[in-house]
Amino acid sequence: MSRIRNTVSLMLASSGLALVCLFAGCGEGENGGEVTPATRRIILLTNGNSPYWDAFATGAKQAEEKLDVGKGGLQVVIDRGNFSPQTQIDKLRQYQGATDIVGVAICVSDPKNQALVNQLVSLSESGVKLITVDSDIDRENEKARTARFGYLGTDNFEAGQELGKAAKALRPDGAKFATFVGVKSASNAQERIGGFQDGAGENFVQLESMGDQGQADTAKKNVRDSLDRHDDLNTLVGIWSYNTPAIVDIVSDLGIREKTTVVGFDADPPSIAAMEKGNLDAMLVQDPYQMGFEGVRLLTALINDNQADIKEIFPNYGKPDGDIHETGLKVVVPSEESPIKADLFSEGTTFLTLEQFKEWLAEYNLTGS
C-alpha cells in the first residue's frame, strides 16, 4: 500500500497545484480554512453530528492553538460523519488518496463492518498515523488493533456499570428497562449496555434494546413504541448523547414522568436543561474535550516522533491494554437530595451535582460534554 501512496504522490507532484487541491480537499472541515500545498493535515473524524462532538471540536482546536501545531506545518480539521459506516469508508478512502493527510483519529461507527476495518488497515499501511477515539475497533481483531496506535476515550463497560449503579440507587427493588442507541453493533454501545446491566444487577430486567441509526425521528419513535409495547417498562436508558433528550421529550409528551426513571450518557445542552427542569435523574458524562485535545497531542507526537509525549500518554504501551488511554468519567445528579451518592462509584469517577458540573463546563467554556 505504501507503493500505491507513493505513486499517487508522484502523480500529484507532476500535475501541479490544481490537482493537489482536488485531492487535498482545500478548505474542507468545519475549522479548516484554506490548506496550502505545504500544509499537512490531521483529521479527526466523528461517527455523527450530535452536539456531543462540539466539546470534542473545542478540545481539538484548543490543542491546535496551545500546542502550536501550525508551527510544524500541521493543521487540525474536524470532519463529521453521519452514523453511516459507508460514509466513514468513503472518507477514509479520500484521506488515503490525499497526500497532505498525515494523521487520522476516528470514532469507529461499526467495528464489525469488515469493509470499514479493511479500509482502516489500508490507511494505516499507507503510512498515515491512525488512532481511535470514543469508540474503538474490535480489540479481538488483532490486525485492526495493531493498525491503530491506540485508543483515547472512555472505558465504556465501566461507564455502563457506573450508570447502572446510579439506576440501582434510584430503584433499589429493581426495574424493567430499555436501552436506546444509534448503532447497536458499535463497540461503545455494546459495552455500555453490558456494563449497565452488570452495574444495575440481576433485579434489573432488560425488555428491549433499540437502534435508530442516528435518525432523530426514529430515536423518539423507538421510545414511544417501546413504552406502547411494555406497560411495566419503568426505566429508560439513553446510550448515545442524543438518545437521552429524545427519551425526555416522549416521557414529557406522555405525562409519565412520575413513574419513569430516566438516565443517560453524556450532557448535551438539552439534557442539561432537562435535568434543571427535573426531567432527568442522572447523567454519565464522558470527556470529549479531553478526547479532542489529547487526540491532537498524540497524533502530533506520532507524526513528529515525540517519544516523550507518547510515553506520557501511554506509559504502559506494549503491555496488555497499554494501548488504551482513559479520559475519565463523571456522574452528574440534579442536587445533593438525589438518592444517588458519591460512595457508590469507583474511586476514579468524579461525582458532581448539576451546579458543580455547570461550573466545570464554564471553566472550559463548554456548553455540553
Grid coordinates representing 105 are 483519529
Residue 26 belongs to a domain: no
pLDDT score recorded for residue 36: 56
Residue 212: the pLDDT is 95
Asked whether residue 145 falls in the same domain as residue 162, the answer is no
CA distances (Å), 315 to each of 56, 289, 309, 318, in order? 23, 21, 10, 9
pLDDT, residue 255, reads: 97
* Full pLDDT tens readout for the chain, 369 residues: 444 454 444 444 444 444 344 344 444 455 555 555 578 999 999 998 888 899 999 999 999 999 999 999 999 999 999 988 999 999 999 999 999 999 999 999 888 899 999 999 999 999 999 999 999 999 999 999 999 999 999 999 999 999 999 999 999 999 999 999 998 988 889 999 999 999 999 999 999 999 998 899 999 999 999 999 999 999 999 999 999 999 999 999 999 999 999 999 999 999 999 999 999 999 999 999 999 999 999 999 999 999 999 999 999 999 999 999 999 999 999 999 999 999 999 999 999 999 999 999 999 888 888
Whether residue 58 is found in the same domain as residue 101: yes
Q: Which residues contact 360 (CB under 8 A, 6 or more apart)?
A: 330, 352
Domain that holds residue 170: 156-285+329-364
Together in a domain, 167 and 240: yes
Q: Assess whether 202 and 120 both reside in one domain.
A: no
**Cα(334)–Cα(360) distance, rounded to whole angstroms?**
15
Number of domains in the chain: 2
Task: Indicate the Cα dihedral angle 222, 206, 185, 160, nearest 10°.
Answer: 110
- Helices 114-125 and 85-97 cross at an angle (nearest 10°) of 20
Mark whether 219 and 348 lie in a shared domain. Answer: yes
One DSSP character per residue, 34-46 reads PPPTT-EEEEEE-
> In terms of domains, do 298 and 183 share one?
no
Residues 253 and 141 in one domain: no
What pLDDT is stored for residue 40 in this prediction?
A: 96
**Is 208 in the same domain as 245?**
yes
Nearest Cα neighbor of 193 from 117, 277, 287, 265 is 265
Q: What's the pLDDT score for residue 27?
A: 44
pLDDT reported for residue 318: 96
85 with 198, same domain? no
Identify the H or E element spanning 176: strand 175-181
- CATH number for 117: 3.40.50.2300
Global pTM value: 0.79
136 with 250, same domain?
no
The pLDDT, as a whole number, for residue 26 is: 45
Q: Is residue 17 in a domain?
A: no
Q: Residue 6: left (phi > 0), alpha (psi -120 to 50), or beta?
A: alpha
Domain match, 187 and 200 both: yes
Q: Give a yes or no: residue 5 inside a domain.
A: no
Considering the domain architecture, whether residues 250 and 294 belong to the same structural domain is answered as no
